[in-house]
Chain A
Amino acid sequence: MMSGDNGNLLSVRDLRTYFETEDGTVKAVDGISFDLKRGETLGIVGESGSGKSVTNLSVIRLIPSPPGRIVSGEVLFHGQDILSLPAEEVRRIRGKRISMIFQDPMTSLNPFMRISRQLMEITQLHLGHTREQAYEHAVRMLETVGIPEARARVDSYPHEFSGGMRQRVMIAMALSCEPELLIADEPTTALDVTIQAQILELIRKLKEETGTSVILITHDLGVVAGMTDDIIVMYAGKIFEQAPTRELFAAPGNPYTKALLKSVPDPVHEEGTDLYQIPGLPPDVAHLPPGCPFAPRCYHAEEVCRREFPPFVQLNAEHFSLCHFAGEVYAESRAERDARGGATPSGANVEPSENLGAVDPSENPTQGGAGR
């Protein structure tokens, strides 16, 4: 068991989570594998319904059951499989070593309970704080996440806070016990644009200060650009592409990723011109056709795509793509990039921010122990 710990904090192996519904078995997550090293940030991107939330809820075993069921797989946390732990031990991990921030800060806090109590109960539970210690800690955490006059406002109820402030409270709660892993599930989707940037900046800053590993889930590639080391692109419960962030933006090897990049809003987007939208809708994961789930919407699709499920192709050391034409698409992206002077691939309006160079996996010291 312990041999799984190759400098990886979290290692997900062939995770499958299904929901039994009246409409049939919804294969929300169907064979997902990925690794997360200590101190790194992983982005999980994909349209709504692609299985991002279910993947991460499975990691801390919060899938509502029934109807949900983790059918198979391993979630190795420090080499130990969370999926085979007794429920009581999983509870000791939740909130303490792995904590989660959810999409909607308006509904994710208990409306009947003071903020102070909601913050206190987590450190009383996991750190054995007394009431006084927990209260002081709650005030400090609110200060840390940038809530003005924290001491005066700690006894408020959630409805007395704005959406952005509530998300800060959620972050304070999630970081109370200094977790090793923070899972942020679309933390900014429900917020307006200026607040979004503030919250992302806060997560980045706290991550740098505490060294926590982060999984950042989003449906917007623009959000992850400057935040993550690696990115996983999900579609229909599967990983469609997996690569270091810079590589993924520079040379995507999957038509779905290219389409996602094309649909990212451009900061200098011209008024009046329509934003690109991927044609069609995500498939019904209860009734998938035999071939590639993206084929009906894909500009590159050919006969074989509709007939056979695509292979997971390795494009280089750390770059994988689920596509019959992965090699071609990859070459195409590289050619486009070169034609543009190596800056931005065609269609992509987003450039990874400059500080990404510092966390390029090949230079990353935490990479040292990998693949022993």
Chain B
Amino acid sequence: MKFRFIVRRLIVTVPMVLIVITLTWGLIRLAPGNFYSTEKKLPPAIEKNIRAKYGLDKPWYVQYGRMMWNIVRLDFGNSLKYENETVNDILWRTLPVSATIGLLAYLLALVVGVLTGTLAALKPNSKLDYVSMALAMLGISLPNFVLGPILVLVFSLSLYWLPPARWNGFPSWNLVLPVLTLSAIYMAYIARLTRAGMLEVLRSDYIRTARAKGLSERQVVVRHALRGGLLPVVSFTGPALAILISGTVVVERIFAMPGLGNYFINANLNRDEPLIIGIVAFVSIAVLVFNLLVDIAYAFIDPRIRY
């Protein structure tokens, strides 16, 4: 039953990835300029050679077909800018950087967010509730291009506690500030989602039943309430993790991390079509796969779900 559901989801998923890639490809074409253009106009003969070399002289459907064929084989070709590297090389080099920062940030957000959200829900309108929800509000409204520099200013440039930037492998102190910066907003979201979900569940009849059984408050929360109360967090986790792992443009820029996000900006500035397509394909596949994982997780958490 579940297997059939997964197959069905995959059948829907694949065309969606192809549509996203097609749109990206179209947008690159529509934008003026191209990867070889500089301030100085190239002599027509040279331009013609370049276009022939990269197949740009062929009709659009041939180019599109070739691109799609590459994607189906999961071979995105060579980068136009980093000429001695294939797109796949770049993906494999940058992905671990982005994934490390993203996973750590999400784990931190999950632990802190679920804990504070649950505690806030257990004592609504208490001091703890107000303080944590005010912090969450701040976390959501403070953009990370503001938070990042503030953290650097305080912890690196004033206190000299932590390095301000650069990738130094895992584990390293260099990770602390980017992970914190990236984590803040997710922490805040998860805390609010958890609080809302738990408040709703704690009001429900089956929690009253659990209390009427004589269970302790801890048993009521851990055994009976968390599961239902965290469902919103589970749905949030799919897209959030996909986006975090595939690199976050702003944070990687601020902290000079050689991750996917950073390369994505460069690829766009350079009009590096294969690299753009490669990264877009990777990210959209990641989003869809993670959403699928969430749906599967749901099926295990909630026995009422039938496919």
Residues of A within 8 A of B (CB): 60, 62, 64, 66, 91-96, 99-100, 102, 104, 107-113, 121-122, 125-126, 157, 159, 170, 173
**Residue of A whose beta carbon sits closest to that of B207:** A110
Report A63 CB to chain B, min CB distance, Å.
11
Q: Is A100 within 8 A of B212, CB to CB?
A: yes
CA distance A322 to B66 in the complex (A): 90
Tell me which residues across on chain B come within 8 A of A173, comparing CB atoms: 209, 213
CA distance A107 to B304 in the complex (A): 13
**Residue of A whose beta carbon sits closest to that of B125:** A66
Q: Is A121 within 8 A of B303, CB to CB?
A: no
Q: Is B210 within 8 A of A91, CB to CB?
A: no
Which of A100, A110, A121, A157 is in CB contact (< 8 Å) with B206?
A110
Known: A91-B214, A94-B214, A95-B213. A113 touches B208 (CB 8 A): no
Binds A, one of B107-115, B223-231, B280-288, B289-297: B223-231
Known: A60-B212, A95-B214, A125-B215. A112 touches B204 (CB 8 A): no
> Which 7 pairs, one residue from A and one from B, show the smallest C-beta to C-beta distance?
A95-B214, A94-B214, A95-B213, A107-B205, A157-B303, A110-B206, A108-B205
Q: CB of B302 within 8 A of chain A?
A: yes
Report A67 CB to chain B, min CB distance, Å.
10
**Residue of B whose beta carbon sits closest to that of A57:** B208
CA distance A81 to B224 in the complex (A): 29
Report A327 CB to chain B, min CB distance, Å.
41
Tell me which residues across on chain B come within 8 A of A157, comparing CB atoms: 303-304
Tell me which residues across on chain A come within 8 A of B228, comparing CB atoms: 111-112
Known: A62-B211, A121-B223, A159-B304. A109 touches B216 (CB 8 A): no
Report A182 CB to chain B, min CB distance, Å.
11
Q: CB of B154 within 8 A of chain A?
A: no
Q: CB of B299 within 8 A of chain A?
A: no
Q: Is A91 within 8 A of B223, CB to CB?
A: no
Q: Is A104 within 8 A of B205, CB to CB?
A: yes
Report A136 CB to chain B, min CB distance, Å.
19
Known: A92-B214, A93-B214, A94-B214. A110 touches B301 (CB 8 A): no
Tell me which residues across on chain B come within 8 A of A107, comparing CB atoms: 204-206
Interface residues of B in 240-298 (CB under 8 A from A): none
Report B256 CB to chain A, min CB distance, Å.
45
Q: Is B227 within 8 A of A112, CB to CB?
A: yes
Q: Is A99 within 8 A of B206, CB to CB?
A: no
Tell me which residues across on chain B come within 8 A of A99, comparing CB atoms: 212-213
Tell me which residues across on chain B come within 8 A of A91, comparing CB atoms: 214-216
**Residue of B whose beta carbon sits closest to that of A109:** B206
Tell me which residues across on chain A come within 8 A of B209, comparing CB atoms: 102, 108-110, 170, 173
CA distance A157 to B299 in the complex (A): 13
CA distance A195 to B64 in the complex (A): 66
Report A166 CB to chain B, min CB distance, Å.
11
Q: Is B224 within 8 A of A110, CB to CB?
A: yes
Tell me which residues across on chain B come within 8 A of A94, comparing CB atoms: 211-214
CA distance A77 to B303 in the complex (A): 40
Report A19 CB to chain B, min CB distance, Å.
14
Q: Is B213 within 8 A of A102, CB to CB?
A: no
Tell me which residues across on chain B come within 8 A of A96, comparing CB atoms: 214
**Residue of A whose beta carbon sits closest to that of B303:** A157
Q: Is B304 within 8 A of A111, CB to CB?
A: yes
CA distance A93 to B214 in the complex (A): 7
CA distance A95 to B208 in the complex (A): 12
Report A284 CB to chain B, min CB distance, Å.
22
CA distance A99 to B209 in the complex (A): 10
Residue from A91, A104, A109 whose CB has the most chain B CB atoms within 10 Å: A91
Tell me which residues across on chain A come within 8 A of B212, comparing CB atoms: 60, 62, 94-95, 99-100, 102
Contacts A62-B212, A66-B125, A94-B212 supplied; 10 other A-B pairs, CB < 8 Å: A60-B212, A91-B215, A94-B213, A95-B213, A102-B205, A102-B209, A108-B208, A112-B227, A125-B215, A159-B304
CA distance A110 to B223 in the complex (A): 10
Q: Is A112 within 8 A of B303, CB to CB?
A: yes
Q: Is A111 within 8 A of B302, CB to CB?
A: yes
CA distance A208 to B301 in the complex (A): 40
CA distance A64 to B211 in the complex (A): 11
CA distance A121 to B204 in the complex (A): 19
Known: A107-B204, A107-B205. A112 touches B301 (CB 8 A): yes
Report A352 CB to chain B, min CB distance, Å.
30
A–B pairs, 22, beta carbons within 8 Å: A64-B203, A66-B125, A91-B216, A92-B214, A94-B211, A94-B212, A95-B213, A99-B213, A102-B212, A104-B205, A107-B204, A108-B205, A110-B210, A111-B228, A111-B304, A112-B302, A112-B303, A113-B223, A121-B223, A125-B214, A126-B214, A157-B303
